[in-house]
Structure 1
Amino acid sequence: MLIATRDDGIGKATIFSRPLLGEVKGRKEWWFPGVYLLVGQSKLYIGEGDPVGKRLEEHAAKKAFWDRALFFTAENRLNKAHIQHLESKLVKLATETGVASLDNGNSPQTPALGEEEYAFAENVLADLLLMLPLLGFAHFEAVEPAGDNADEGSDALSTEQSTGKRRAIYSALPRGRLFHATFKDSQATIETVDGGVVLKAGSTVVRETAPSFDVWMAKYAQLRRQLIESGVIVEQNGKMIVRQDQFFSSASGAATVVRGVSSNADGWISEDGKSFGDLLRAFKQKNG
């Protein structure tokens, strides 16, 4: 179980695997209004509940596909209209990206909100969308960044292919394999995990990004700043050190944050001298 908050954020995310449902029921957040995600291998369900725990308990009995879940609450700051707004927007985004097959039977409508309430709900949504990729829920990224399209080097994945295809490929790769990269003043290691890679604690990232990084790689520039602000990346003895393991949905995404410039998967090298790009190309050749 993982509890995630932002220092300047509005709410709190609770992430847990299905077997821990009973333990999560003991938390006070279980009784707050909230929005939630149920995630399986290639399926996603998005819902809201007041309290959120009652809906999660119902789904534990009726929906068998999910193995992990996230719910987002903000104590007494979210009301029924707020969570309906969040649910509607998340369903729309997930439908547009096509990362996973939606188990939702309908598309909930956005409730009518006054100007102030609408602005508040949108701020909560922005907080949530910033947190989700950091927590391993890459289901709402509408645009493929340049670094991800270079995941296979010269044999790159087509931009028309969804991030769902990428997640399926990464989930099929051997887990626990280590790859290393050195660039300027950075030395980093990633490990293959379900649905992506983990940038290992103890890795270092470049101190200075490329001059055009904020312009051409705005998504990863924002992610890098968030990792620094949240203390995942800290400055020690003149180096920018990754203090704890950090999930990325692609090897190219991890490389882009480490190097501070648009990068592909070929820069990650294993102990046997093969690159991560080689691993992806071999998988593609074998599986068509």
Structure 2
Amino acid sequence: MTLAPTNGQLPPATTTIIYRPEGGIEGYREVFDGITDVVVSSFAWPTLKEVSIAAAAPACYLLVDQSCVYFGETADIRRRLNEHARDPGKNFAREAYIIGGTGRSSELWSDSSTAEFLQFRLTDLAEQGSLVDVIKGVNPRIPDLSKDRRAMLEGVVRHSLRLLFDAGCRVFCSNNGSQRRVTADAELLGSDPAGPMRIGVTATPLPGTELELIYGDLWARGFPNEGRFVVMAGSEVRYSVNESAWGWIRDDRAQLRAEGVLVPIAGLEDRERLVVAVEFGSASSAAKLVCGSRDGGKWMPLRFSPPTPTV
């Protein structure tokens, strides 16, 4: 994103207020400009239990680490963040940012459409900027808005971007450029899968080699196998595919559905399930397909080891 206009004129001067109710430098802070009914709250994600958050307040929020971001919206920010705190899939987060109202009575935050619109637009802007990887569950949807309200909320987006930057968020603008973990060489290699996909393999993981995928709240397991990588039967596959994802991801998913091994999950619209083990050319290719993402998630050692079988 561009931080300055391209017509040669300097942008108008602005003032941002940073309030630290608990003192210190790195702790909880509220960032606002005193003009709009928008405030960005920021704190270290591991300190959530120590942060005082208003009950049942509507908001849009970001969970962030150095290279990825998860966007959400809710009518009750305290309840939703506490739910995320119990979700191992959100353990990647290092910082949390909440966009909400300043506490004054305002039509702006009277219903859920403001938070929904912010989630949709900020997700889109983060994907366009390509500074970090965007972790998604379900693709955000734009609410049904009148033209005048949408124009008003676009103004809220602009204010929010400035306040987020001043709060320390570098998801949309950064003087350091891209923060994604993938190197240029890896990005080029990702345009093609690392070898053909094999459906219905019978390999089993050696003791201690089973891995789990860290991407939102997806449940997926896999293991390396003779220089390739197997995604185990029962693993979930995110239904949506990011617009920036490689074309082969859609092609391979279509093949899995055509062969009847990637099937819907009753009661869930945002994911499907593999009913057989599928082998990929690399762990990276497997993660890209499972996540529907250009860079995929991370395969990590199991956080909870399976019980040792008794003889």
| TM-score for both structures, normalised by structure 1 | 0.47
- Judging by fraction of residues, say which structure has more helix: 1
| TM-score for both structures, normalised by structure 2 | 0.44
